[in-house]
Structure formats: structure tokens, C-alpha cells
Chains A and B, each alone.
Chain A
């Protein structure tokens, strides 16, 4: 299905900056109504009835013929309906600017990576996530030492005090994320975190209008180890920080028990800029809520060479010249 503007009949989409539906044709706001459901089923555009190349996990996309933003009903309903969605908050233009800023920090980045024409290809994607809840028991036992030094006359004294450390705590975890998309690299998705969960809302199709989307690629059980790793690292960190005041610590016993409670399905917003340079791909991923950019900026060797040579020549002239003039 797709969303139509009541005023002009155009394809109305969700606007991240205004946080509401805005018609790109007549600029009406909040005038959406659901367009008719395709009677031809999946794989056919409900607007122009052209055949669309639907991939296995696609839940939202643009029709390659009429550019209508299509939401695939069968993949957002029933068992595929997300419990919650975090709507895009960062608009396309703002996202382009963030990528530009990021590339400017890399001296030898080719100007092409920041060109308007290339940046225009960025796409907003709702990435499927499994979100896990855990109850955790963490226990620690160890011996910590503290060192005190002072001087008296020409003597220096060192006093080492030893303490018994015991910590026992329950740590409840809520909505620990693991992306359920094969396309999205896991390391990148870990870095694109965190999202501010306060802006999670119950799923509604309209938030997907104007964006791409995927349904979860695998059941929650298949990737829960990734969430559990995060929980273990977190519990470790919490324990460690609880005895960080000691100069030295010797661990006697440490236990972290994780109990899975529930996994729920949610969608999180990501902007993707698929840039390729000299046959190599340099994808950028931008958190659609916070604007955090994850990606490796390509380096132009010829540019690096030109810049380095110029700097070298300038410096040589300046140092030699000034030495001659001053000394």
C-alpha cells in the first residue's frame, strides 16, 4: 500500500523535521489517507501496477517506475508487525551535511565524496532489530589495595592497605539491540548505537512512507548471542567501576548470570550513503535519530601526494629562507 494526499492525490510521505506527514506536491500537512490495497498482491506497484523487483526481506521501497513509496502490507502485518518504531528525526539534507562535515575532517578525501550529486543518493532505511530484555545477577569478590606515600625528613614512607571487596547486584536490561538484517554489517550497527529509546512509538505504517525498510531476516533466537555479549560486557563494566577506587585489585570470584526474559521486534532509522571510489565501496551509515556517522572516508592518493608535496615545498622555502634571513 501507499499513502495518498487527500488534497492532491500525490504520494504523501513522513517528514522527519516536522515529525508529521507532509505532501511534497502541495505541501499539505497531515492530509494522508491509505491508498487502495493492491489487488494483485506483493510484487506489483499499487499505484502504477508495474512489476517491482521485491527482494526477500524488503518491507518498504520506491517503485522504480512511478517512484511511489510502497509499504508491503504482508511484511508489516501479523507476526511481521513491529512492536515499536523509532521514526526518522534527521532529515535528508541534515544528514548530507553531517556526512560532508565528516569528510572534511579527512584531509585527503576526494571532493567527489562530498559532491551534491553523489550525496543525493543517500537512502533512509528502517532497519529491523531484535530487542532483548534480561535479568542479570552479578557477583564479585576480591582483594583491593590502596597506596599512601608521605615524606618525613629525608625518608619516604609507603603504606599499602588491603581490603576485602564484595559486590552483589541485580542488573535489569531492557531492549538490548541486535540488528536482524543480513545486509547491515554488525560492527557498524554496534557503532551506530545508541538510540534514545524515549522516542520509540507503537508501530504505524505512515512512519515508513518515504523510506525503505526491511522485515527481520532471522528469528530472535538466532542472533541473541550478540545481545548477550553486550550484556556481559556491560555487567563486567558495572562491576569493575564499582571497585575502581583501588590502586590494585586481585579477583577471587566473579559470576555473571544472564536470564533472557523477552525479545521484541522493532524498527530503527538509518541513513545509508553507498559511496564507491576506484572500484571499492565506502558505505556510510548515519543514525537517523542522533546523526552519528559511521563510515570510513576514502583517501585520494593523488590528492595526498599533491598536498604533501605542496606542504613540503612551502616548508622548505620558509625554513631555509627564514634561517638565511635571521641567522
Chain B
């Protein structure tokens, strides 16, 4: 290959890939920038020392002592890594009806309102939140085991409140529901894991690289095959090409009806169904913004 065609090859290469190279470079810069940003954020110390050290308030005695200890360790580890508080509260509380309202001074007789207020107030009065004691980052799961009024409420605050959509809240609650009766400990672990999953965007994960490689491989394979395929040419000669006048001289063209037969068949039909749910944002009695939602069992 001479110098001339080498220069030509380089020109073709750039022409072909310039857009890809520019996009890849931009993404790479943003990506590395984000990694640096993440690394610096991870170094930042806890900004709130008003909250108690305790994160697991097992008033209803749902967990064994070992499980409680494990959950504390798990929460401590995740808090340090993701910079948001996780609080688990279990209770045996009457939260519904006029009787409950009279006894505990709830503002309404409704399960949902009272669960929400209890959860939000517990968070507010204890000044939880990783960065600050008011509207700080984190979430609280209140699990009420009072017979006939069982269910959990998720209270979100700060960045967790901002980042989680109604669907995300629903996703976390569903994770708790899965193990609510059979394995409460892992139901709470699910709560923590799913909060992390829905709030820690912008974190590099090895599976992204894995899927990046796999998808790129298949696209490249397709590209490789399409770039190599070439055939001589396609046949463009019409079969009437050499017919004088372009069409035959037709003597007979007959289509005579002979007979017909008809068959019948019954049509099968089918139908389906669905479900819905969710929770939204509001202001607690303490004036702090919270998000979240609950599931009654």
C-alpha cells in the first residue's frame, strides 16, 4: 500500500467514525468526572450528630437478638457507603378507629394517616438524616404488627424523598411484602437494598460494563457481517425483456369455476386483569417534607 492510499484510508476512517469517537470521548469525560465526584462524595463525613446511634427499634420484638445485631451492622455499613440513614421501627400499636384516636390523640381515625404520622414523627423527633437533622437524607420503615391492623409504612426524607417516584416507593414496599410473614429480617434487608437501588443513580456497577461489552459485541458482530457481505449484482432482467412487443399473444385464457366447499370453526377468546397502588409527598406535623407510602396486610 502506498502513502497515498494510506492517507485515503485514514480519511475514510475518520469520516466513518468521527461522530462515534466524539460521542465516546464526551461520555468518557462525563463518566470519569462522575467517578471522581463519587469518590469525593464518599469521603465526606456525617453531617448530623443530633440523631441517636440506634437504627433498629424492635418494640414489637419481631427480630431475634442476633438478627437485630446483624441488621445494625448491615445498616451501618450501607450508611457509611451511601450516605443516607436507614431506620427500622417495629410496633404493636392501635392505629385505626375512634378508640385509637381517643387513646393516642391521632388527628384522624384512619390507618394510613396515622401510620404516616407515626413514621414521620419518629423520624423528625429523633432528628434522623445523614447530612442534617431536619429533612436529612434517609428513610424509615415502620412495621406495625397490631392484630388486624398489620402493615408497613415507608417514610422518606431529603434526597431519598426527592429521588424516589411513587413507583419506586411501591417497588420498595413490594420487596418488604414478599417476606413480611415468613422472614421479617430479610424483609427489612429488602427495604434497605431496594432503597439503595432506587436512589443511588450515577454509580458505576460492574454489570454495566458486562452488558456494555455483551451488547457492543453483538452490534459489532452484525456490523462485521454486514460490512463483509457483497454479491456480484442482482438480476435486473425482467422475464419479458426479450419478448417482442413486451407481451405474449394470448390465444386461450380461461378460468372456469368448478366447485367450492366451506368449513366452519368456533373462535376461542380470552381475557385478563390487573392491580394498582402507590404513595405521595406531604408535610408532616413537624413541618418537614416526607414522601413514602404503605401497604396494609
User: Which residues of B253-287 have CB atoms within 8 Å of chain A's CB atoms?
Assistant: 253-267, 269
If A158-B263, A304-B227 touch, does A168 touch B31 (CB 8 Å cutoff)? no
Q: Mark A152-174, 1 if CB is under 8 A from B, else 0.
A: 00111111111111111111111
Q: How far is the CB of A300 from chain B (nearest CB, A)?
A: 9
Residue A314, interface by CB 8 Å: yes
Q: How far is the CB of B225 from chain A (nearest CB, A)?
A: 10
A112 touches B24 (CB 8 A): no
A157 to B265, CA, bound (A): 6
User: Which of A237, A303, A319 is B211 in contact with, Cβ under 8 Å?
Assistant: A319
**Chain B, residue nearest A132 (CB):** B242
User: Which of B20, B226, B235, B263 is A191 in contact with, Cβ under 8 Å?
Assistant: B235
Residue A106, interface by CB 8 Å: yes
User: Which of B4, B13, B212, B253 is A320 in contact with, Cβ under 8 Å?
Assistant: B212
State which of B78-86, B158-166, B197-205 sits at the interface with chain A. B197-205
A169 touches B248 (CB 8 A): yes
User: Which of B5, B232, B243 is A234 in contact with, Cβ under 8 Å?
Assistant: B243
State which of B65-73, B88-96, B213-221 sits at the interface with chain A. B213-221
A193 to B233, CA, bound (A): 11
B4 touches A115 (CB 8 A): yes
A173 touches B20 (CB 8 A): no
Interface size class of A (residues with CB under 8 A): 35 or more
A169 touches B250 (CB 8 A): yes
B264 touches A323 (CB 8 A): no
Most buried by B among A110, A160, A230, A319: A319
Residue A52, interface by CB 8 Å: no
Residue A201, interface by CB 8 Å: no
User: Which of A191, A313, A323 is B232 in contact with, Cβ under 8 Å?
Assistant: A191
Residue B1, interface by CB 8 Å: yes
Most buried by B among A111, A112, A242, A320: A320
Residue A48, interface by CB 8 Å: no
A99 to B179, CA, bound (A): 68
A157 touches B24 (CB 8 A): no
A170 to B248, CA, bound (A): 6
If A111-B9, A158-B265 touch, does A317 touch B24 (CB 8 Å cutoff)? yes
Residue A321, interface by CB 8 Å: yes
State which of A29-37, A73-81, A288-296 sits at the interface with chain B. A288-296
A194 to B27, CA, bound (A): 51
If A174-B244, A327-B208 touch, does A314 touch B232 (CB 8 Å cutoff)? no
B232 touches A188 (CB 8 A): yes
B261 touches A310 (CB 8 A): no
B227 touches A159 (CB 8 A): no
Residue B8, interface by CB 8 Å: yes
Residue B43, interface by CB 8 Å: no
Query: B64: which A residues are within 8 A, CB to CB?
Result: none
Residue A138, interface by CB 8 Å: yes
Query: B167: which A residues are within 8 A, CB to CB?
Result: none
Residue A315, interface by CB 8 Å: yes
Residue A308, interface by CB 8 Å: yes
A317 to B20, CA, bound (A): 10
A325 touches B202 (CB 8 A): yes
Query: A170: which B residues are within 8 A, CB to CB?
Result: 248-249, 251
If A173-B244, A188-B232, A296-B230 touch, does A155 touch B249 (CB 8 Å cutoff)? no
Query: A327: which B residues are within 8 A, CB to CB?
Result: 201, 208
A106 to B225, CA, bound (A): 11
Residue B53, interface by CB 8 Å: no
Q: How far is the CB of A231 from chain B (nearest CB, A)?
A: 8
A311 to B231, CA, bound (A): 24
Residue A322, interface by CB 8 Å: yes
Q: How far is the CB of B132 from chain A (nearest CB, A)?
A: 27
User: Which of B8, B252, B262 is A167 in contact with, Cβ under 8 Å?
Assistant: B252
If A312-B216, A314-B23 touch, does A163 touch B230 (CB 8 Å cutoff)? no
A163 touches B255 (CB 8 A): yes
Query: A171: which B residues are within 8 A, CB to CB?
Result: 243, 248-249
If A157-B264, A188-B232 touch, does A313 touch B34 (CB 8 Å cutoff)? no
If A292-B236, A311-B223, A319-B212 touch, does A324 touch B249 (CB 8 Å cutoff)? no
A174 to B259, CA, bound (A): 41
Question: Can you name 18 A-B pairs with beta carbons within 8 Å?
Answer: A108-B228, A111-B8, A115-B5, A143-B258, A157-B265, A160-B260, A161-B260, A162-B259, A166-B253, A173-B243, A234-B239, A306-B13, A307-B227, A310-B20, A311-B220, A319-B215, A320-B212, A321-B27
Given contact pairs A106-B227, A310-B20, A323-B208, enumerate 7 new A-B contacts (beta carbons under 8 Å). Answer: A154-B266, A156-B264, A191-B236, A192-B233, A234-B239, A312-B216, A325-B31
Interface of B toward A, CB cutoff 8 Å: 1, 4-5, 8-9, 12-13, 16-17, 20-21, 23-24, 27-28, 30-31, 34, 201-205, 208-209, 211-213, 215-217, 219-220, 223-224, 226-228, 230-245, 248-267, 269
9 nearest A-B residue pairs (beta carbon): A107-B227, A237-B239, A315-B216, A320-B212, A321-B27, A321-B31, A319-B212, A323-B208, A168-B252
